[in-house]
Amino acid sequence: MQSTEKRLDDLWSQGKDFLGVQYAILGGAMTWVSERNLVSAISNAGGFGVIASGAMSPELLRTEIQATQSLTQKPFGVNLITLHPQLMELIDICVEENVTHVVLAGGLPPSQAIKKLKDRARKVICFAPALVLAKKLIKLGVDALVIEGTEAGGHIGPVSTSVLAQEILPHVTEVPIFVAGGIGRGEAIVSYLEMGAAGCQLGTRFVCATECVAHINFKKAFINAQARDAIISPQLDPRFPVIPVRGLANQATKDFIAYQKELVAKVDKQEVNLKEAQLNVEHFWAGALRRAVLEGDIERGSIMAGQSVGMVTQEQPTVEIIGELVDQAKHSILSRSKA
């Protein structure tokens, strides 16, 4: 009978080979959270850490990459936002600093960005929220895909992880696919691997890693939360588009609802024009994530978290978190082999 370890190795061999790691577990890129300390810890523990570049300037990104390289000799990647006004310069920095894998997120990436990375022998990973987009991205030359369900934290799409996996995994075999969104245990990882995934991406589970620089208040909010507490930012009026973001409900969530009501009333009374009101809605959360993550203001800040937050019960070293996930995966395989 095949050993559980050998079975798990076989299941995620494609993902391991693509990333160059011991375990095909990517760290989800979380702004202000996925920086040098957590990224290097994930990579050192056998996973694949990913720097969240967010709104960094090219030189700030260079500094972060070099600092991460000083903490780990293992592979790691960089997540770039496709809408960043200096996207092509950020790509140059990744190339110059020998980053092997680049994740392009935040919308359909421009073809020239993909080509530039491919021409420089870099691996390109993109998000595919639907089968048609997965096929389009493969035609553009991407090397791997992430399919992320609505259970994830931060900016999300409308479809659940399990449905996306069923829609995409059976029909896309040309490139490795990593599944993300609501994954907090090894049993879930195995289930997606058996469906055809090359690996999984987890973000929320790593927020309470010892190496994570997030404020203790931010971590405590995760530890005390249940899955139902991670809600989607509400939109009260279709005239005020709200980009869906999943996070823990707090006072800021209530303030956002009240603020929208106030703006709706002002627009209806023609006290404020619609465009100005729309801009005010967009700017409401400016700086809110930083306030929560780094300053610990968990009442007025934005506590982005996925629904797997209910499985975060303590602060622990990254190597221990990954060890638990792998052990759970092996136990799941063993249990099924005995059934």
Query: Could you list the pLDDT tens digit for every one of the 339 residues in the chain?
Result: 469 999 999 999 999 999 999 999 999 999 999 999 999 999 999 999 999 999 999 999 999 999 999 999 999 999 999 999 999 999 999 999 999 999 999 989 999 999 999 999 999 999 999 999 999 999 999 999 999 999 999 999 999 999 999 999 999 999 999 999 999 999 999 999 999 999 999 999 999 999 999 999 999 999 999 999 999 998 999 998 888 999 999 999 999 999 999 999 999 999 999 999 998 888 899 899 999 999 999 999 999 999 999 999 999 999 999 999 999 999 999 998 876
Q: Nearest to residue 277, comparing CAs of 299, 288, 262?
A: 262
Residues 288 and 177 occupy one common structural domain: no
Q: Are residues 151 and 80 in the same domain?
A: yes
Do 23 and 40 share a structural domain? yes
Strand-pairing partners, residue 79, are: 52, 103
Same domain, 109 and 161: yes
For residues 206 and 260, membership in a common domain is answered with no
198 and 244 inside one domain: no
CB atoms within 10 A of CB 228: 10
Same domain, 175 and 221: no
Residues 57 and 206 in one domain: yes
pLDDT computed for residue 98 by the predictor: 98
Q: What pLDDT is stored for residue 107 in this prediction?
A: 87
What three-state secondary structure class fits 117? helix
Distance CA(88)–CA(86), nearest Å, equals 6
| Residue 222 and residue 154 share a domain | no
233 forms beta bridges with none
**Angstrom distance (rounded) from CA 128 to CA 109:** 11
* Domains identified in the chain, total number: 2
Residue 115 has a pLDDT of: 97
- Do residues 100 and 18 share a domain? yes
What global pTM score does this model have?
Answer: 0.95
How far apart are alpha carbons 127 and 180 in whole angstroms?
A: 10
Query: At 181, which CATH number?
Result: 3.20.20.70
Structural domain for 299, as ranges: 216-308
Angle, nearest 10°, between helix axes 318-338 and 36-44?
A: 40
172 and 48, same domain (yes or no): yes
In the prediction, which pLDDT does 339 show?
Answer: 67
241 burial via Cβ count (<10 Å: 0-12, 13-18, 19+) = exposed
Q: Are residues 115 and 89 in the same domain?
A: yes
